[in-house]
Amino acid sequence: MIKENIKLPGAFCQRMQELLGREAEDFFGSYQNEREYGLRYNPLKCESRNLFEEKQRELGWNLTPVPWCVGGYYYKPNAQPGRHAWHEAGVYYIQEPSAMSAVELLDVRPGQKICDLCAAPGGKTTQIAGKMQGQGLLVSNEYYGNRAKILSQNVERMGIANTVVLNESTEHLAQVFVEFFDRILVDAPCSGEGMFRKEPEAVQEWNLENVALCTGRQQEILDHAAEMLRPSGVLVYSTCTFSPEENERCLCRFLKCHPEFSVETSETGEKYFSHGQAAWAISQGGCTGEDIQQQVERSYRLWPHKLRGEGHFAVRLRKAGSTDGEEHTGQGRLVKEHRSKRQTARNKEAAKIEEAVSGFQNFQKETLKFDLEERLPGRYVLFSEHLYLLPGEMPKPDGLKVVRAGLHLGVCKKNRFEPSHALAMYLHPQEVRQYVELSLGTGKTGESEKYGETLKYLHGETVSCDCGQKGWTLVCVDGFSLGWGKAQNGVVKNHYPKGLRIQY
């Protein structure tokens, strides 16, 4: 029996019956159950997970942990966290629980150079960034321009400083970042079979031709990812589909074409997930060789009838080799090229950057309690009037389609500097010389009488402050930054971006 609002395609049902056999009844039975809802708290905003759990209990959300993701939680739909001010403050990211699995297999560490190759809308990018703790470089790429903008907005909302958002083809990236990254995540575009319960509209878009189309695209992306990964680096490939063509068979083909890679198991995967099935690839003529078959069996599948989440596939791959001595050539070549250009950059562009940096530094002295450059090693870049702090590990982005070049500091207009919303979201109240803490009730956005001045600010209205405050002021709720305001005479003029403002 299938829920009335989910009409599964006949060809899909037949294939799943053949694959799962007796287990198919339990699999199809999972479609009678309601989907699971999840969120993941943001350690860049809320440094203590215990504090976050204490705060959510006050709201009565009754979150329960997602076992395979530290900081991941299940929530009930009536909690509506997407309508709470904490969401606007980037305190958490709403994410399907099974989707949290791939980054857990990636083994992210602070200071690494990491690429999220198919990153929109940003769930896995923000998860990676939280684990990086602001250290290292994260390059998040999305091929489709409109989706890249959404990705960039989520990076901004979560207060991430060390991420460069690109809108590029994987082919071009492979030419630029040769053996550059320590970790690469390929959460590949797929037929989306695992999302049928979460997104019933995906059922209407499904067909066997699309499965074949996705398979070819996935193989191409994986080939490019292999070129960008340094020796001994880790690549995680994941999909949200059940299709063996896009999972086990795709993995078999990759291992055959790239013998320098091998599959690794994960403590998290072994504890919570099922294994992939080499037999499903063999039956399609796509998996030969005992060694490859054994490696495929180390991949992971997340089944909706076996855990609280939707359908996913994930595999962790290690590239052979060592980074000792001269073997790690990609980084050296890129950095050397950048330095050569820096030494000869004495032109009008350099003068404009110098003027913009001077404006920011004056703002920093007046507004911040610390030196941003000391915390975030990098270099300044200017796009039109917009000043960014580009992470130090990132080569000069000449020839790349850049959507976000690290931390957006602000806009330089006619000898004045206006701080960006991204900078506000990065900061904490204790890091600025003055801030205003707005009132917050237990209501949801849209209930102005419960939200008080917080909703007024999110709507674009002025809010009150101490009469002694003057100039740029960080606006906060519950100790989390929401944006900028400009204080004078007991009133904070609203600088919350118009495109983000809430209507009620």
Run of H or E including 279: helix 278-282
Structure tokens at 64: 């329960």
Q: Active-site residue among 69, 240, 412, 465?
A: 240
Q: ∠ at Cα 115 (112, 117), nearest 5°?
A: 170
- Cβ neighbors of 78 (< 8 A, separation 6 or more) are none
Alpha carbons within 13 A on the beta-carbon side of 55: 20
Three-class SS of 409-427: EEEEECCEEEECHHHHHHC
Strands (DSSP E) found in 212-308? 229-239, 261-264, 274-275, 300-302
C-alpha to C-alpha distance for 165 and 15, rounded to whole angstroms: 38
Note whether 92 and 291 are within 8 A (CB).
no
d(CA 232, CA 369): 40
H/E element, 402: strand 402-405
Continuous H helices in 158-247: 170-176, 201-205, 208-228
3-state SS of 77-111? Answer: HHHCHHHCHHHHCCCEEECCHHHHHHHHHHCCCCC
Report residue 16: phi and psi, to 5°: -65, -35
* Residue 69 bears catalytic tag: no
Which active-site residues does the annotation give? 240
